[in-house]
Every structure is written in structure tokens, then in C-alpha cells.
Chains A and B, each alone.
Chain A
């Protein structure tokens, strides 16, 4: 059991829809991450939150909007996505975001944009 949960596990949405991905960690960690995983490509770091403050935004398009209301919850709000945004979106957490820590991953949300 990873201690990091994500919902929904699968999502199909049209390009004009608005949806949100949710991540929750039960590990008492202070840092949370959003990654995009596409087939045969490296994990792409999208956003990092450390103690609820966004510390990293890797040039992610504005159609992806993160929200971190507290250290245990992380959301990714999606709107007007493109078909190339179809991928597995992984959430992770670690003890702190400003030192070397093992990251714990959730099972991911498989997103398909039609």
C-alpha cells in the first residue's frame, strides 16, 4: 500500500471539458509533486509544492492548473486540453522538497483527451 491515492484512475474528456484530478497522501509528508508519464518517455516533472507553496513549475501550459490547499491534498485542474495531453498523470510525495528524499507515488490517473 503506497499511502498515496489518486482519483479518478481513468478519465476520458473532450477538449472543451473541465475536470480535476485529485491526490491525497497519508504519510505526513511536506512535499507533493505532479508528473506526466507518456509511453517510452521519461517522467516529466510538472509541479512541486513544498509546505503548500509552489516551488517548481516546469514551463507547463496554463491549461494545467495545480492547487494545494494543504500538505495532504493536491489537485490538478484541467481545461481545454489537447489530444497530446493524453498520458498517465502521477502524483508523488516526499518528506521535504528541498533535500534528497525518496518519493512515494500514487497509482496514477490514465487521461485520454478526445
Chain B
């Protein structure tokens, strides 16, 4: 079966760094997405990885290891507005997105 695993909830301090992990087992792989979803709002695109390695975009970075079925999202210099759920999703062989349940990130002052 297809499965995406990520922690349910994480807590971090304003100004710190946090890493959100995602492991996956899917039928085929055509890339991995990270989305951010604030409470009561639409998910919004953060990053896409299809090759191994680290992609950096401002305070956010995303890493992929295809051989390990593993990705992480790294958030630096955390701000209160980063409190949200972070969704990991893998594109399978049929180009459909398989979603994780999301990681709720709580930022404390």
C-alpha cells in the first residue's frame, strides 16, 4: 500500500530552527511536495523536490533522499506566523498526490 508518515505535532521556539520529517512508501515516485496550511485556510505550495539533495528558498529548505524514501522541511529563524500545519505529499506513478496527515507546528515566544 501507499503510505506517508510525518509527526502529528511539533513545538519550537521563536527564532529557533525546526526540522519536520516525512517518510514515504508509494507505487512510483515523481516528486515530493511540501505545503503549508494555516488553520481555516487553503494549503499553499512551499517546495518541490524530485532529485536528491537540498533545495533552499529563503528561511525554508527541503531535502530529499529517494533511496531512503525520506524528506525533511527545515524552517530557520522561526516566526510566530510559521505556526501552521505542514503537509508532505508524494506524486505517484499516476501523477496523483498521496498526502501525509500533516504536522501541526506550534511556535512559542
* Chain B residues within an 8 Å CB radius of A105: 42-44
* Chain A residues within an 8 Å CB radius of B43: 43, 90, 105
* CB of B74 to closest CB in A, whole Å: 20
* Chain A residues within an 8 Å CB radius of B13: none
Chain B interface, >50% SS class: loop
* CB of A27 to closest CB in B, whole Å: 13
Known: A42-B101, A43-B99. A100 touches B44 (CB 8 A): no
A70→B38 CA distance, assembly (Å): 30
B41 touches A40 (CB 8 A): no
* Chain B minimum-CB-distance residue to A104: B45
A100 touches B101 (CB 8 A): no
B42 touches A90 (CB 8 A): yes
A100 touches B42 (CB 8 A): no
From A40, A45, A48, A99, B101 is in contact (CB under 8 Å) with: A40
Mask, B69-96, CB within 8 Å of A = 1, is 0000000000000000001010100011
- Cβ of B33 within 8 Å of any chain A Cβ, yes or no, is yes
B95 touches A107 (CB 8 A): no
A45 touches B33 (CB 8 A): no
Known: A40-B101, A48-B96. A107 touches B45 (CB 8 A): no
* Chain A residues within an 8 Å CB radius of B98: 42
A45→B40 CA distance, assembly (Å): 19
* CB of B102 to closest CB in A, whole Å: 8
From B31, B42, B102, A107 is in contact (CB under 8 Å) with: B42
A102→B30 CA distance, assembly (Å): 12
- Cβ of B8 within 8 Å of any chain A Cβ, yes or no, is yes
- Cβ of B50 within 8 Å of any chain A Cβ, yes or no, is yes
In the complex, which residues 75-114 of chain A have their Cβ closer than 8 Å to any Cβ of chain B?
A: 90, 97-100, 102-108
- Cβ of A2 within 8 Å of any chain B Cβ, yes or no, is yes
B residues bordering A, Cβ < 8 Å? 4, 8, 30-31, 33, 40-45, 48, 50, 87, 89, 91, 95-102
A residues bordering B, Cβ < 8 Å? 2, 4, 40-43, 45, 48, 56, 90, 97-100, 102-108
